[in-house]
Amino acid sequence: MTVTRERKTLLAGFGVLVLTALLVGTAVLADRKNAPQSDWLMVMKAEQAQFVEATDGTYTLTLTDVDPVTLAFTDRPERTAQTWDTTVVLDYWESEFDGDPPNAAVTADGVRVAVTLSDPRIGMSARSDGAVTPTAGANTFTAAPLPGQVPPTGTINQPTVFLDGAPTSVNSQVTD
């Protein structure tokens, strides 16, 4: 009889151990699903940029000779970096930002301006009268200045455009 009682105790202990492992595993998976996803930040480079003011207070930002590769990296705590095809980034813009355009900082020697960027158009540029026309090697955006910001209207040489917060990688596109 003692063997049977020991066997029951052993089986009960093993059952509790398995149940505990299952519960802990489920809790860990649930926590991972609920953990906040890191946003992707992006850096684009171009040879030139120009802001052209529109009548509604927005601007058309034209980037010419845009680098074909965009650097993307996540914020803390994930700390991942990848390079993405710039055309793919622009193609997926609307779905990635879901109607909430990203903030962007356009910087170069002596230029630092913060805007939101929307409506990317590949192969287009803005004329001085504000009309957007086809131009090889150019990309345009609608740029809305953030409060207190006034974009310059001259040519900006070798600008860097920093973009915040894409919630996912762009179509899982990686060029590395």
Same domain membership, residue 164 and residue 77:
yes
Same domain membership, residue 18 and residue 55:
no
pLDDT band at 87 (very low <50, low <70, confident <90, very high): confident
**pLDDT at residue 70 in the model:** 92
- Gyration radius of the chain over CA positions: 26
Residues of the domain holding 97: 40-170
Same domain membership, residue 20 and residue 88:
no
Query: Would 20 be classed as within a structural domain?
Result: yes
Query: Would 116 be classed as within a structural domain?
Result: yes
Can you tell me the mean pLDDT for 83-97?
85
149: part of which helix (H) or strand (E)? none
Same domain membership, residue 112 and residue 72:
yes
Query: Would 141 be classed as within a structural domain?
Result: yes
Backbone angles phi, psi at 25, to 5 degrees: -60, -45
Cβ pair 161, 43 in contact under 8 A: yes
Cα angle 116, 120, 123; round to 5:
140
pLDDT at 131 over 70: no
Query: Would 89 be classed as within a structural domain?
Result: yes
Q: How far apart are CA 154 and CA 143, in angstroms?
A: 15
pLDDT tens figures, 132-175: 555 657 899 999 999 999 999 889 999 999 999 776 655 555 44
Query: Would 175 be classed as within a structural domain?
Result: no
Domains held by the chain: number? 2
Query: Would 19 be classed as within a structural domain?
Result: yes
Same domain membership, residue 69 and residue 12:
no
Residue 141 CB partners (closer than 8 Å, separation 6+): 60, 61, 63, 117, 118, 119, 120, 121
Same domain membership, residue 1 and residue 67:
no
Cβ pair 97, 89 in contact under 8 A: no
Query: Would 176 be classed as within a structural domain?
Result: no
Same domain membership, residue 98 and residue 57:
yes
Backbone angles phi, psi at 136, to 5 degrees: -65, 140
pLDDT tens figures, 20-67: 555 555 554 554 455 566 788 999 999 999 999 999 999 999 999 999
Same domain membership, residue 64 and residue 123:
yes
